[in-house]
Amino acid sequence: MGRKPLIAGNWKMNLNHLEAIALVQKIAFALPAKYFDKVDVTVIPPFTDIRSVQTVVDGDKLLVTYGAQDLSEHDSGAYTGEISGAFLAKLGCTYVVVGHSERRTMHAETDEVVLAKTKAALRHGLTPIVCIGEGLEVRESGEQVAYNVAQLKGSLAGLSAEEIGKVVIAYEPVWAIGTGRVASAEDAQEVCSAVRGALGEIADKATADSVRVLYGGSVNAKNVGDIVGQTDVDGALVGGASLKSDEFANLSAIAAGGPLP
Ligand SMILES: O=C[C@H](O)COP(=O)(O)O
């Protein structure tokens, strides 16, 4: 199938622009160029860091890409505090996270909002990383597959197969985020495989086979190997461990096939 793994470091609301420059430089220094043939590595800093990250990446010709944690569903106008996908594209962003569970819960983002933001990202040539994931109650009821498939379908409703081919999906069980309680590799595979099956229904099999489906939730250098070793898991959306340069570089290397020496 030839899906290249993607390791995305979501910094959340951490690091000012000076700290961001230092972290990107350390990651790039720790991860030799040869690994980038086998893994895509991206950092997702706060909006206020993006211009600084761009300057370092461009100036030092780094192979790390970067993106944003959110965008507006609108392109411009009277939307105080919002950030347009057009601005992110102009800053050289490759990815934008859409519908992270922290935004779904703390900012009441519904599947409709996530869909509108996904469309906005695609309009501006950004790759949306569309997040889905069940809470603990759903997991304990055993309904996680149905829940995630429904959230996926709601968040991508009406998109063409061509558009679906341009997204990345991140399965992030809410109970595993920032808790140190990682899903088992089998749990990750179960939902990621169901996601791929659903993509096949709403687009087509070739598209579904090409879309990268990531796992997120307490990923670190110790557990990433098992997780990305699963057939339908094509990388990870990493929170806490992405703030540590050596750990993030090492887990990226492991996703590329083996740890750093
Ligand atoms: O976007 C990243 C996820 O929310 C995972 O965060 P975490 O690795 O700190 O659990």
The separation between the first and the last C-alpha atoms of the chain, rounded to the nearest angstrom, is: 28
Assigned domain for 246 exists: yes
pLDDT in tens, 110-156: 999 999 999 999 999 999 999 999 999 999 999 999 999 999 999 99
Assigned domain for 97 exists: yes
- Residue 46 pLDDT exceeds 90: yes
What's the pTM value of the predicted model, to 2 decimals?
Answer: 0.98
Q: Which residue, among 260, 258, 239, 238, has the nearest Cα to 249 in the 3D structure?
A: 260
pLDDT in tens, 187-230: 999 999 999 999 999 999 999 999 999 999 999 999 999 999 99
pLDDT in tens, 155-187: 999 999 999 999 999 999 999 999 999 999 999
Q: What does residue 188 show for φ and ψ, rounded to 5 degrees?
A: -65, -45
Tell which atom from ligand 1 comes closest to the C-alpha of 102. Answer: 4
Range of the domain at 39: 6-256
Tokens of 6: 């993607």
207 lines ligand 1 (CB under 6 A): no
Assigned domain for 1 exists: no
Query: If pLDDT is split at 50, 70 and 90, which confidence band does 101 have?
Result: very high
124 assigned to active site: no
132 lines ligand 1 (CB under 6 A): no
Nearest-angstrom CA–CA distance, 125 and 119: 10
* Environment class of 102 (CB within 10 Å of its CB; exposed 0-12, middle 13-18, buried 19+): buried
Nearest-angstrom CA–CA distance, 177 and 174: 5
Query: If pLDDT is split at 50, 70 and 90, which confidence band does 2 have?
Result: confident
Three-class secondary structure of residue 213 per DSSP = strand
Give the Cα-Cα-Cα angle 18, 22, 27 (nearest 5 degrees). 145
Look up the CATH number of the domain holding residue 86: 3.20.20.70
Q: Which of 73, 109, 134, 172 is catalytic?
A: 172
The alpha carbon dihedral of 105, 133, 198, 71 has a sign of positive
Assigned domain for 261 exists: no
**Residue range 14-37: mean pLDDT, rounded:** 98
CA 62 to chain CA centroid, Å, is 20
Q: Which one of 181, 218, 220, 244 would you pick to mutate in the ligand 1 pocket, going by the greatest count of ligand atoms within 8 A of its CB?
A: 218
Domain count along the chain: 1
Assigned domain for 231 exists: yes
The share of the chain scoring above pLDDT 90, in percent, equals: 99
**Centroid of ligand 1 to alpha carbon of 34 (angstroms):** 26
Three-class secondary structure of residue 146 per DSSP = helix
Residue pair 238/216 in contact (Cβ under 8 Å)? The answer is: yes
Tokens of 82: 């919002």
